[in-house]
Chain A
Amino acid sequence: MGLIRLPLAPVSFALFAAVMLLAVPLALAGQGYWLTVLTTAALLAFGSLGVWLTFSIGRINIAQGAFALIGGYVVAILGTRYHVSFWLALPLAVLVSMLVATLVGWPILRLRGVYFAMITLSLTEVASLAFLNGGGFTAGASGITSIPRPALLSSSLAIYIASALLLLAGIVIAWRFAVSPAGAVFRSLRQGEELAASLGIDIARYRLLAFVASSGMGGAAGAMFAAFQQNIFPTSYTVNDSVNFMLYCFLGGLQSVAGPVVGAFLLVIAFQLLSAIQKYQALLYGIFMIAAMLFLPNGLMSLPRVLAARRRRDE
């Protein structure tokens, strides 16, 4: 559909998929540490794709951590207390996340800008505090540990492949949204809600769709993390994590579906590489964020464009 200027060349995707599903397992089969890093990157990228969807309707969503927490706890509670298989708990986690998103999203999506940002930030806090004060049901501050590994996913490699597949599915979903008429509706919401309504678009319904889809993805990411780390605590996802999801989107660039993926992988891998200077890790993080906003406001994916424009200026 030649309308959309959101590039996701099938070739790039195929290459990425090949790297993720073939090259990495071949190269890193025995290296638990790096597989864990890439698993983390893949799942965070998946969660960021959700936040990307809410950016596309013009909302600053700082609630993704809350849904990751919800997803994680669903898997944790169902797995440890009711011995439900992960493969059933995962879709349930997504469902619960989407349900909460529907209930909460319906009234709050009327808000925009900093108001929506602040209320979603509050939601992340509410989730954390709720699970902390959930008494016997959520086991409070001590969290839930010894979550059983899912059947079929006992090795780091298997978990990595499952996460990579989830990410690839997420990329396809986000891409399909972007290039479909529904995606055009989303973008119209960002650029003029009243205008969209006057053209017959049910803006409340579409806003909710984006938010619920995003939250479902957050829940899935949280569920996978819980299964892979085998524990969850009320502090597993804080405001910092919700902000990180936003950061990955911004760093990569909001123009294309690839942005959040690039952002997440870059930061997660860079961090691990910098683990030698662990002491300065978070500091560098802050500096990096500032530098990115100063010099590459449209994200890394805009770098080719920026360099080309600069070259043209110099000619």
Chain B
Amino acid sequence: MAQILIDGCVLSASYALIALGITLIFSVMRLLNFAHGELFMIGAFMVYYVYGVYHLPFAAGLVVAALVPALIGAGFEKFLFRRVMRIATREENAMLLAVGTAILLDNVALFLFGEEQHGVPETISGVLQIEGGFLPYQRLLVVILSLALIAVLLSFVQYSRPGRAMRALAQDRDAALLMGVDVDRTSMLGFAIGAGLAGLAGGLLVTIQGVNAGIGVDITIKAFIMIMIGGAGVVSGAVLGALVLGFAESVGYSLLPGSETYLLIFIALVLFLIVRPQGIMGHPWG
């Protein structure tokens, strides 16, 4: 029981980074980032190379894990999405473009990093025992860092000028324009930060789960599940979604084989969405 709670917390904390990232991108650009899992994967590989292969400090690895995906995200927004969203006659164009970027990143990664699974050595060793459950310090570190990053992000969005611009854009694009918000720059920043969060989550989780070039799609789907549960474009929804998914996984994996857990999660999700399509915190949406 304690183990389930512990595992649930660990998963939820890092999943929250993923969910917040995709939520940020969705709320600023009204875009579903199909490549989110690939950005996570790239972040994980950055830590693998910087820390695991070149033996530089883990912190340095995390910085790279945030920066590289952020740059990719900024580039996507500036050179791809900005243009397509301006010329597109239908909203699906941007979505298909996002799918294209995901495929691109998947295959570039496969090409650069190969197919094999990779892991990294522990940054802290040792295990904490709580109430009959085991919490490796590595996982505790992941939780602490995740929570710290979430706090930084939320403060940034709440109090900084660019953060306020992003919130303005999320709430009412036209009003934001009238107030002088630089839509292009804000969108680019939003995408970069969202991508950076995904990369950071990957960089943190690689210390627990390792990485291979194929995990992109699975992580993207998890991100989608979280925002479906919590509500797309709402920060509290992202966190709630992460909590629900993290604990659903920890409960499920302790009782059932992996794929059965996800079957149940999906069925429950579909049924939930039938009743409440906008998710727990979402705005009613057509």
- Known interface pairs A60-B92, A130-B263, A298-B89. Does A119 touch B273 (Cβ–Cβ under 8 Å)? yes
Task: Report if B80 contacts A (CB, 8 A).
Answer: yes
Q: Is B273's CB under 8 angstroms from A250's CB? A: no
Contact, CB under 8 Å: B259 / A129: yes
Residues of chain B contacted by A133 (CB below 8 angstroms): 259-260, 263
Find out whether the CB atom of A122 lies under 8 angstroms from the CB atom of B270. yes
Determine if B182 is an interface residue (Cβ-Cβ < 8 Å): no
A75 near B: Cβ within 8 Å? Answer: no
Min Cβ gap B81→A in Å is 9
Q: Does B236 contact A (CB under 8 A)?
A: no
Q: How far is the CB of A267 from chain B (nearest CB, A)?
A: 13
B89 touches A297 (CB 8 A): yes
- Residue from B84, B102, B227, B266 within 8 A of A297 (CB atoms): B84
Which of A112, A279, A286 lies in contact with B285, CB distance below 8 A?
A112
Query: Which of these, A104, A130, A254, A293, contacts B100 with CB under 8 Å?
Result: A293
Count, A-B residue pairs, CB within 8 A: 134
Q: B255 interface residue, CB < 8 Å from A?
A: no
Contact partners of A125 in chain B: CB under 8 A: 221, 262, 266
Inter-chain contact B232/A115, CB cutoff 8 Å: yes
Instruction: Give A251 Cβ to nearest chain B Cβ, in Å.
Output: 9
Residues of A within 8 A of B83 (CB): 294
Pair B84/A114 contact, Cβ less than 8 Å:
no
**CB distance B274 to A107 under 8 Å?**
yes
Cβ of B217 under 8 Å from chain A: yes
In the complex, are the beta carbons of B100 and A286 less than 8 A apart? yes
Measured CA separation A193–B286 after assembly (Å)? 10
Contact across chains for A123 and B95 when beta carbons are under 8 A apart:
no
User: Contact: A283 with B88, CB < 8 Å?
Assistant: no
User: Which of B87, B91, B277 is in CB contact (< 8 Å) with A110?
Assistant: B277
Contact yes or no, B286 A119, CB < 8 A: no
Check: B48 CB closer than 8 A to any chain A CB: no
A219 to chain B, nearest CB (A): 19
Known A-B contacts A126-B266, A286-B103, A290-B100; the reply to A297 vs B93 at CB < 8 A is yes
Stretch at the interface among A90-98, A167-175, A223-231, A239-247: A239-247
Given A114-B32, A289-B99, are A122 and B286 also a contact pair (CB < 8 Å)?
Answer: no
Q: Are A108 and B232 in contact (CB under 8 A)?
A: no
Rounded to whole angstroms, the CA-CA distance of A238 and B227 in the bound complex is 21
Q: Write the nearest CB–CB distance from B104 to chain A, whole angstroms.
A: 4
Which residue of the partner chain, among B32, B96, B104, B260, contacts A118 with CB atoms under 8 Å? B32
Task: Check A16 for interface membership: any CB of B closer than 8 A.
Answer: no
Of B5-13, B53-61, B105-113, B188-196, the segment with at least 4 beta carbons within 8 Å of chain A is B105-113
A sample of 25 cross-chain residue pairs with beta-carbon separation below 8 angstroms, ordered by A number, consists of A108-B274, A112-B285, A113-B285, A114-B26, A114-B95, A115-B277, A118-B227, A122-B266, A125-B262, A126-B270, A129-B259, A129-B260, A129-B262, A239-B217, A246-B92, A246-B96, A282-B103, A282-B106, A283-B104, A286-B105, A287-B104, A289-B99, A289-B103, A293-B84, A294-B83
Query: 4 other contacts beyond A129-B263, A133-B259, with CB at 8 A cut-off?
Result: A117-B95, A133-B263, A239-B217, A286-B104
Task: Enumerate the 3 nearest inter-chain pairs by beta-carbon distance, A residue then B residue, closest first.
Answer: A286-B103, A289-B100, A286-B104
